C-alpha cells in the first residue's frame, strides 16, 4: 500500500468521527510517520527490540487543560505507516485498523485510559 493511499485511509477514518467531536479536534495535527522511535516506545514501557505501535497521542488530554496555560505546542496524533502495513496485509484490514487506531488515539485526547478504551472495543 502506498503512503498516498494510506493517507487517504486516514482521512476517511477522520471523516467517520461524529460531528460532535470534530470541533474539539480542529487543533490536533494528524501525522503519518514511518516507525515509532525507541524513546517513544520506552516512554510507554515497551521494549523497542520486540514491541511497536500503530499510533500514539502526543499531547495533553482535553480534561487536563486550563485557560491559564500559555500557548503550547499543538497536540498530535501519529499513525505509524510501516507497522500497520506489516501487520495487516489487505487494504480492508489496513483500513479497519487505521480506523480503530484513530479512534483509540482520539479517545486518549478525550482522557480515556487504556482500560476504558479496551472496554469500548478499541484496543
Query: Phi first, then psi: what are they for 15, rounded to 5°?
Result: -65, -25
| Closest residue by Cα to residue 13 from 2, 3, 23, 22 | 22
CA-CA distance, 3 to 119, in Å (whole number)?
31
CATH topology for 3-59+73-116?
A: Zincin-like (3.30.2010)
- The sign of the dihedral angle between the CA atoms of 90, 34, 41, 43 is negative
- The sign of the dihedral angle between the CA atoms of 118, 100, 105, 41 is positive
Can you give the pLDDT of all 123 residues of the chain as single tens digits?
899 999 999 999 888 888 888 878 888 899 999 999 999 999 889 998 999 999 999 988 877 766 666 657 788 999 999 999 999 989 899 999 999 999 889 888 888 888 888 888 776
Query: What pLDDT is recorded for position 82?
Result: 96
| Closest residue by Cα to residue 31 from 88, 65, 74, 63 | 74
In angstroms, how far is CA 46 from the centroid of its own chain? 17
The CA distances from residue 35 to 51, 64, 97, 123, in Å, are: 11, 28, 16, 19
Query: What pLDDT is recorded for position 59?
Result: 85
| Closest residue by Cα to residue 109 from 7, 17, 1 | 17
Amino acid at each position: 500500500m502506498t503512503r498516498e493511499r494510506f493517507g487517504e485511509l486516514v482521512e476517511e477514518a477522520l471523516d467517520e468521527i461524529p460531528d460532535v467531536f470534530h470541533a474539539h479536534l480542529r487543533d490536533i495535527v494528524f501525522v503519518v510517520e514511518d516507525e515509532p522511535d525507541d524513546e517513544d516506545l520506552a516512554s510507554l514501557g515497551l521494549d523497542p527490540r520486540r514491541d511497536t505501535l500503530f499510533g500514539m497521542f502526543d499531547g495533553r488530554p482535553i480534561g487536563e487543560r486550563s485557560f491559564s496555560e500559555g500557548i503550547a505546542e499543538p497536540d498530535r496524533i501519529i499513525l505509524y505507516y510501516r507497522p500497520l502495513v506489516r501487520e495487516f496485509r489487505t487494504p480492508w484490514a489496513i483500513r479497519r485498523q487505521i480506523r480503530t487506531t484513530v479512534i483509540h488515539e482520539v479517545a486518549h485526547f478525550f482522557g480515556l485510559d487504556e482500560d476504558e478504551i479496551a472496554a469500548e472495543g478499541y484496543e
